[in-house]
Structure 1
Amino acid sequence: MTLHLPLRALLPLLAATALAACAHEPAPAASTASAAAAPAQAAGDADATRARAAAMAFSTRLRERLQGAMQAGGPVAAIGVCHDDAPRIAADVMATHDVRLGRVAVPGRNRNPGHAAADWQRAPLDAFARAVADGAPAGEQVAVIRDGLPDGVALRMMRGIATEPGCLACHGSHLAPDVQAALAARYPDDDATGFSVGDLRGALWVEVPAAAR
C-alpha cells in the first residue's frame, strides 16, 4: 500500500499514536484479530516515526549548512556544500537512525548523476508532480510505502523537495557567471536549472530496514 499524503497529514497520525501510548485508562479487551494486528501496527508506526525523524535530521542539518555557506561565500560556497558535505551528512544520519536515505531528482532534471530516480521512486514522483500541477505545495507531498517491498525493507518514505527562493541562485533560469563556472566544474552534465519558486525539484527518500525494528 502506498499512501500519498501532505506532510502535515502525517503529524496527527504520529501524535495520536503517542497519545494512545500515554493514556492511563485501561483499554477494553481486544478481540483475537485485533490483538494479532497490534504488533504489526506498532511496528509500522515505529517505522514511520524512524523514517520521519531521519528525514527531518538530514533536511535540518543540510539546510543549516547551506544557509551558513550562503552567508559566508554565496552560491558558489553552497554548491560546494551540496557536492561535498551533503553525502557526509547523509552518511551520519543513516548511521544514527539505522536507515538508508538519499535525494532523487525529477526525471530528466538531474544535477548529480547519482540522484537519478530508481524504478520504485518514479510512481511517487509522478504522483507528486500531478498534485503540484493541481496546486498542492511541493514540499508537503509525502508517500509512505508499506506493501510490495523487497526482502529486508520494512518501509519506504518519500517527501517532495520544493524550489524555494534561495534555490534559484543555483537552480533558476538566470545564473551568475561564477555559479555557472562552479556548476560546470563539479556537474558537467547538469540538468537541474530553469526551475521557478514552488516547482517540484525531486524528493528525499528514506528506507527503513526490517532489522531496524
Structure 2
Amino acid sequence: MRLMILPLLILPTLAQTAPAPAERGAQLLTPFKMELKQTLMKGLEEGPESAVTLCQQEAPAIARRHSNNGIQMGRSSDKLRSPENRPPAWVEPILSQFQRGELTPVTVEITKETTGYAEPITIAPPCLACHGQQIANETRALLSHYYPEDEATGYQLGQWRGLFWVEFPTESAQKGG
C-alpha cells in the first residue's frame, strides 16, 4: 500500500517544477507567433498588398508588445526583408545550422542569467504570396517600396525561411540569484 502512495506524493512536486528552457522558450514564442499569424491572415483576406502593409506596420509592434520583463523576441533570416530583423549575435550560429538543414529548435545559454531559444520558420501556402517565386506585380511594387533591400523572395513551399527567437531570464535569475 505504501508503494502506491509514494507516486501520488511525488506528482504534486513534479507539477510545480519549472518547464525546461526549451519548453519555456516555445511557450514564450507561442503568443507572438499566433498574433503575428492572425495579423497576416487578416491582411491576406484583403489581398497580399494589405498583408505587406500590415506586416510592415504591425510586425515590429507585435514583437515589442511581447518583449517585456527581461524577455526579448523577434524573427530573423539569412535573407532579410527588413534590416530591423538582423539577428542578435547568439542567433547567427543557429541561422547557419538551419541553413545546413538542421531544423531542430535550439536552446543556448547566452549568459548565466539569460537563455536563448530559436525555432525554424518554413514557408506555408499563405507565405508564397509575398515570399514565393511568383509574386504579383502590385505586391512586388509594394515590397520594393517598404523594403528596398528585400532579399526574402524566391522561396518554395516547405522551404526553410528563417527563425523565431526569444531571450529570457534563467530560472535562477528570475528568483534573484
Give 1:131's aligned amino acid: G
TM-score (ref. length: structure 2): 0.81
- Superposed structure 1 runs of 4+ greater than 6 Å apart: none
- SS state of the match for residue 94, structure 1? coil
Task: Give the C-alpha shift of residue 67 in structure 1.
Answer: 0.9
Equivalent of 2:73 in 98, 101, 108 = 101
Which residue is 1:156 aligned to?
A: 116
- Unpaired runs of at least 5, structure 2: 1-6, 12-16
Identity among equivalent positions (%) equals 30
- SS state of the match for residue 66, structure 1? helix
Which residue is 1:118 aligned to?
A: 88
Give 1:124's aligned amino acid: I
Which residue is 1:69 aligned to?
A: 43
- SS state of the match for residue 157, structure 2? coil
- SS state of the match for residue 195, structure 1? coil
Aligned residues: 163
Q: Considering fraction of residues, name the structure with more helix.
A: 1
**Structure 1 residue 177 and structure 2 residue 137: aligned?**
yes
Q: 1:120 to 1:159 in 2, by over 3 A?
A: same
Whether the aligned pair in 1 keeps the contact of 2:25 and 2:117 (CA below 8 Å) is: yes
CA distance in 2, matches of 1:183, 1:79: 7
Q: 1:89 to 1:118 in 2, by over 3 A?
A: closer
Which residue is 2:54 aligned to?
A: 81
Alpha carbon RMSD of aligned pairs, Å? Answer: 2.3
CA distance in 2, matches of 1:105, 1:80: 20
Whether the aligned pair in 1 keeps the contact of 2:76 and 2:162 (CA below 8 Å) is: yes
- Unpaired runs of at least 5, structure 1: 1-22, 28-41, 133-137
Task: Give the C-alpha shift of residue 51 in structure 1.
Answer: 2.0
TM-score (ref. length: structure 1): 0.68
Task: Give the C-alpha shift of residue 158 in structure 1.
Answer: 0.2
Task: Give the C-alpha shift of residue 119 in structure 1.
Answer: 3.0
